[in-house]
Amino acid sequence: MVLAELGGSISRAIQQMSNATIIDEKALNDCLNEITRALLQSDVQFKLVRDMQTNIKKIVNLDDLAAGHNKRKIIQQAIFNELCKMLDPGKPSFTLKKGKTSVVMFVGLQGSGKTTTCTKYAYYHQKKGWKPALVCADTFRAGAFDQLKQNATKAKIPFYGSYMESDPVKISVEGVERFKKENCDLIIVDTSGRHKQEVALFEEMRQVAEATKPDLVIFVMDSSIGQAAFDQAQAFKQSVAVGAVIVTKMDGHAKGGGALSAVAATKSPVIFIGTGEHMDEFEVFDVKPFVSRLLGMGDWSGFMDKIQEVVPMDQQPELLQKLSEGNFTLRIMYEQFQNLLKMGPIGQIQVFSMLPGFSSELMPKGREKESQAKIKRYMTMMDSMTNEELDSSNPKLMNESRIMRIARGSGRSVRDVMEMLEEYKRLAKIWSKMKGLKIPKKGEMSALSRNMNA
């Protein structure tokens, strides 16, 4: 995903500024110009980028910051907050209530991934105990009904549509009525897309909305839309009451910055992102963890939730205890690798992207096989380590003779061992943030993760 490149560019700009001997006007401007360039290259709308730059300059008034202030930290925090602000419209989307019927209407251009996303959305909720149903009101695209039918059947979700009826309003009303009678609590209406914004499309959308009175209208946008995102999203918003956005194809080569523009145009939050063609390649979108991930700061809240899936229950308190003492040892790294290799490929990717520091460098998307081989190689080398080496968090312990012994014992080169130790140091640095962590009692995980992201 090219968004990762954007994150990399921003992180580098911040790093460069941090390396400057004095943080003065010039260092700040250089950093902000670099970030501006990166955002524009990622297709974020010009006005948004300019506003962000102005806001940061307003917040970070270097003259007012006394010498004792940690300017780097203040600037970094301001950049983080402004990026979050771009993606956060300040109000949550409509909250659906399980057990109470909600009608959700999907709108977007043809090819944006609307039909696929309708099923993903239904499937996601079905797994959480909802009773969803799908209505195909796309009478424009030949094959739309077949596609929805196929997806719905695969996911065992009831659907409604017609090969004969050409009036989308009639179909949507009939579908919604029927599923209300069947006590479905999430009725999803897929509308037609067309290739480009045109009067007929918006008129049809308006009519379907008027007839079905949706509780929520979701605008689906392809992340590769680029600079056109703002205008497109705004045009939809002006026709129907868009309340949330889903950005699709975040797994591809799209620059993704359009997502930020769509939020600004619709003043609605991104609630999910599509990360593949498969039904469960769909992620809940949360601003702070996303920006943390974008800037390579790790997604602590996602991590704290995922840790319960990855680390066996009986090992969790022990692991957290060790981390809270600031001891990220080679043994902990080894155990994490072990846990991750036990999971299936999809689980691994999901978890790797959550674990702070593991995602971009250790397991870049699309190169999972190579990464797994690398991890196995690291583990072989660690197998040749003594208990003292595995349990120490003192990097100085690993002297030349120990490194040579490990290389010989594992049949790898000294360079390989050095590489593994570098990786360990990188992760240890990131994970040292866990030092001082309050160990949660059962059920306190979410509260803890909120604290860590605050």
Give contact residues for ligand GDP (rule: CB under 6 A): 108, 110-116, 147, 193, 248-249, 251-252, 274-277
Identify which of residues 231 and 280 has a Cβ nearer to ligand GDP in the complex. Answer: 280
Neighbours of 319 (CB within 10 A): 18
**Rounded CA gap, 30 and 20, in Å?**
11
Nearer to ligand GDP by Cβ, of 85 and 114: the residue is 114
Tokens of 399: 């002297």
Q: What is the 8-class DSSP label of residue 92? A: P
How far apart are alpha carbons 268 and 221 in whole angstroms?
13
For residue 273, give the nearest of 85, 258, 264, 371 by alpha carbon.
258
Least distance CB 347 / ligand GDP (angstroms) = 19
Non-local (6+) Cβ contacts of 33 within 8 A are none
Q: Minimum distance from CB of 149 to ligand GDP (Å)?
A: 13
Put residue 256 in one of left, alpha, beta given phi > 0 → left and psi -120 to 50 → alpha.
Answer: left
Buried b (16+ CB within 10 A) or exposed e, 257-288: bbbbbbbbbbebbbbbbbbbeeeebbbebbbb
Question: Closest CB to ligand GDP among 121 and 179?
Answer: 121
Q: Which residue's entry shows tokens 């970030």?
A: 35
| Choice between 108 and 298, CB closer to ligand GDP | 108
Q: Nearest residue by C-beta to ligand GDP?
A: 274
Tokens for 224, please give them. Answer: 């590769």
* Residue nearer to ligand GDP on the CB measure, 135 or 421: 135
Strand partners, 190: 106, 136
Its sign, for the CA torsion 60, 62, 64, 68, is: positive
- Residue 114 CB, shortest distance to ligand GDP, in Å, is 3
Least distance (Å) from ligand GDP to the CB of residue 144? 7
CB of 109 to ligand GDP, least distance (A): 7
First-last CA distance in the chain: 26
Least distance from C-beta 378 to ligand GDP, angstroms? 31
Question: Which token pair is 219?
Answer: 């605008």
The residue (of 152 and 320) whose beta carbon lies closer to ligand GDP is 152
- Judged by CB, which is closer to ligand GDP: 51, or 251? 251
Least distance CB 43 / ligand GDP (angstroms): 17
